[in-house]
Amino acid sequence: MTHNFPAGATLARRRAVLGGLLALASTATLAAWPDRPVKIVVPWAAGGATDQIARMLSQPLSQALGVAVVVENKGGAGGVIGTQAFVKEKPDGYTLLLATSSTNAAAPHLYAKLGFDPIADFTPVTTLCAIPNVMVVPAKSPWNSLKDLVVAAKQSPGRYTYGSAGIGGSQHLAGAQFKTAAGVDIRHVPYKGSGPAAQDLIAGHIDMMIDTGSLGSIRGGLLRPLAVASEKRLPALPNVPTFAEAGTPMVASAWYGLMLPAHAPADVVARLNAEVNRILRTPEIRDRLVGMGAEVWGSTPAEFAKFNAAEISRYEAIVRDSGAPKE
């Protein structure tokens, strides 16, 4: 749409007219949105922490927006495949990404051909939460403490395996950090998501995992927690020591947030930000997240953008020190 100004129009008048047109356009966008289902892309297989958080948010967000909010899993390559597909979506507010520290901070340092720009291809909406990783082993494992595991790994270099949701994921990097901190040689086995990795861990096909979504299996007696990768013990696991208390100091957590594709309408971003931050403050959702071992966050879009940029810089050193190869 174009607008022809009168020849004698002042600069102030032109600005006023343009401002009015932009305001009308913004109002029209918000009035029409949403009028069909909204999708949350989870770039991991079903069952992991990322998937759990997305499904936890989908129902209250659906109620707030008045349309269905569906979760679509697109796993593979440590979250990269699903994220590559997401950035090709229209920036119309109908496709959200459950972004993570793995896909939007670590991946740029792990993949030579990432397929997306971690800043330019996204519109931040809000941070959601952070979850410290927990070292878990099968319930039938002979190891009852982190010290037991470290002793066994040192006695048999290369014998034991740790699983992850994929190369570059928080579990992979936490495992690499653990190898360095403990001075052990354990082999990495990547999966297409936390869910499949956890299933193989429970079945005893792999020996250990440093995971963010294992509390359900821990409470169900399927997995045994040995240490939490946080500075303080988790309220959800008060009897489990930190890695430092267990003799191998390290801190490793994963963060989660919501993104839209680049150039999403500002009014849609503002509406989603307000609704999701309100949902995060509700006792039900807060309690469920805390029950997962999470620290509940929430932020403005600008705060999330600043945080994400800082995390990309921070993860450069984490990936380098972990020794993880660039794919």
Whole-number Cα distances in Å, 43 to 96, 141, 221, 298? 11, 31, 28, 21
116 C-beta neighbours (distance < 10 Å), count? 22
194 C-beta neighbours (distance < 10 Å), count? 32
- What's the token pair of residue 161? 């395996």
Whole-number Cα distances in Å, 243 to 7, 87, 202, 247, 276? 72, 37, 22, 6, 33
Averaged pLDDT in 10-residue chunks for the chain of 327 residues: 42 50 48 93 90 97 98 90 97 97 92 92 98 96 98 98 86 90 94 89 97 90 96 92 96 94 98 98 96 93 98 89 68
Residue 177 phi, psi dihedral angles, 5° rounding = -60, -40
The identity of residue 87, as a single letter, is V
Residue 77 has what pLDDT?
83
DSSP string, 92-153: SSSEEEEEEHIIIIIGGGT-TT-SS-TTTTEEEEEEEEEEE-EEEEETT-S--SHHHHHHHH
CA 117 vs. chain centroid, Å, equals 17
User: For the whole model, what pTM was predicted?
Assistant: 0.79
Residue 170 has what pLDDT?
83
**Torsion angle defined by CA atoms of residues 269, 270, 274 and 277, in that order, rounded to the nearest 10 degrees:** 50
What residue ranges define each of the domains in the chain, with the CATH number in brackets? Answer: 35-129+254-322 (3.40.190.150), 134-228 (3.40.190.10)
Residues in the chain: 327
The percent of the chain in helix, strand and coil, each rounded to the nearest 5, is: 45, 20, 35
